[in-house]
């Protein structure tokens, strides 16, 4: 009975009450923090100052998902602001290996994200260095989108690749996940579940987290 980690995305929180929103998800495992720069994705969210404030307002580790161009410039800002896990997009950078090293040197966990259109083989050369892989299950940019069904085959392909390499990084899924499909993604290989709208638009956030945890247990 292996348990999954639940990472609510504060992108769907009420920003005018961020402290209370963070308290309401204290039973989660991570706080997922979506940084959007208006270039890599067609939307803007929040940056380092709000991360710093969030860090002071929760005991949970901060899982920072950088949907930004030129992450090499920005990763140090987020490490300094308190990120515990830093995710950059494979599609957004040139020196993935160097960037992973920089994250590790700062004592944080390193994760690379793949857009739905990027095959898992893109990670073949750096897979062994990664603490986590993020398989996007929607095209990044907005909360509340529908899960892309092709993600299931991709999760299975990632698990095969990990087995060939003899490694077992965490596998995170992000976008369109709820109580109805969490079991399916976990069965295909995911063990870190991001959920934005399904947690923060629920009447009881803690109960929504427990439901994801229950339905994701295998
Ligand atoms: C999408 C973000 C997600 C988003 C997920 O670009 O990376 O983390 O908040 O939201 P839901 O769970 O509503 O699809
Ligand atoms: Zn995200």
Ligand 1 centroid to Cα of residue 116, in Å, is 13
Q: What is the CA radius of gyration of the chain?
A: 16
Provide the whole-model pTM. 0.98
- Structure tokens belonging to residue 202: 């629920």
Among protein residues, the one whose CA lies closest to atom 7 of ligand 1: 140
Q: What does the domain layout of the chain look like in residue ranges? A: 5-216
Mutate to test the pocket of ligand 1, among 35, 138, 147, 173 (most ligand atoms within 8 A of CB): 138
Question: Which of 29, 37, 63, 174 does the annotation list as catalytic?
Answer: 174
Q: How many CB atoms lie within 10 A of CB 69?
A: 16
Number of the ligand closest to the Cα of 43: 1
Cα separation, 192 vs 91, in Å, equals 21
Q: Determine the pLDDT at residue 1.
A: 53
Tens digits of per-residue pLDDT, 143-187?
A: 999 999 999 999 999 999 999 999 999 999 999 999 999 999 999
- Structure tokens belonging to residue 52: 């710093």
Report the C-alpha dihedral over residues 185, 187, 192, 196, rounded to 10 degrees: 30
Ligand 1 environment, Cβ below 6 A: 9, 11-12, 32, 34, 65, 138, 140-145, 174-177, 194-198
Mutate to test the pocket of ligand 1, among 10, 38, 142, 202 (most ligand atoms within 8 A of CB): 142
Query: Got the DSSP string for 17-86?
Result: GHHHHHHTTTTSS-EEEEEEBSSSSS-B---HHHHHHHHHH-SSPEEEEEE-S-HHHHHHHHHHTT-SEE
Ligand 1 centroid to Cα of residue 196, in Å, is 5
Tell me, rounded to whole angstroms, the distance of Cα 37 from its chain centroid. Answer: 16
Q: Determine the pLDDT at residue 208.
A: 98
Which atom belonging to ligand 1 lies closest to the Cα atom of 41? 6
Question: Which of 34, 63, 97, 128 does the annotation list as catalytic?
Answer: 34
In three-state form (DSSP H/G/I as H, E/B as E, the rest C), the secondary structure along 106-129 is CCCEEEEEECCCCCHHHHCCCHHH
Which atom belonging to ligand 1 lies closest to the Cα atom of 144? 13
Residue 97 annotated in active site: no
Q: Determine the pLDDT at residue 174.
A: 99
Residue 34 annotated in active site: yes
Statement: 5-216 belongs to CATH 3.20.20.70: yes
Which is nearest to 133 in space by CA: 120, 146, 150?
Answer: 120
Q: What are the residue ranges in the chain where pLDDT is below 70?
A: 1
Q: Determine the pLDDT at residue 3.
A: 86
Tell me, rounded to whole angstroms, the distance of Cα 110 from its chain centroid. Answer: 11
Which atom belonging to ligand 1 lies closest to the Cα atom of 9? 9
């Amino acid at each position: 009975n292996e348990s999954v980690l639940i990472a609510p995305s504060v992108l769907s929180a009420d920003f005018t009450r961020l402290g209370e929103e963070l308290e309401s998800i204290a039973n989660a495992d991570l706080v997922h923090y979506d940084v959007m720069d208006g270039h890599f994705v067609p939307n803007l969210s929040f940056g380092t100052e709000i991360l710093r404030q969030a860090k002071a307002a929760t005991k949970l580790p901060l899982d920072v998902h950088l949907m930004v161009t030129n992450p090499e410039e920005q990763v140090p800002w987020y490490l300094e602001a308190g990120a515990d896990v830093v995710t950059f997009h494979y599609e957004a950078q040139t020196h993935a290996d160097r960037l992973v090293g920089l994250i590790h040197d700062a004592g944080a966990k390193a994760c690379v994200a793949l857009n739905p259109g990027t095959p898992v083989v893109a990670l073949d050369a750096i897979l062994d260095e990664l603490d986590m892989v993020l398989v996007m299950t929607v095209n990044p940019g907005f909360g509340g989108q529908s899960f892309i069904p092709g993600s299931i085959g991709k999760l299975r392909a990632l698990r095969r690749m990990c087995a060939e390499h003899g490694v077992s990084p965490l596998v995170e899924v992000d976008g369109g996940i709820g109580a109805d499909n969490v079991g399916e993604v976990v069965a295909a290989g995911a063990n870190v579940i991001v959920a934005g709208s399904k947690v923060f638009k629920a009447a009881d956030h803690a109960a929504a987290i427990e439901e994801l945890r229950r339905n994701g247990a295998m």
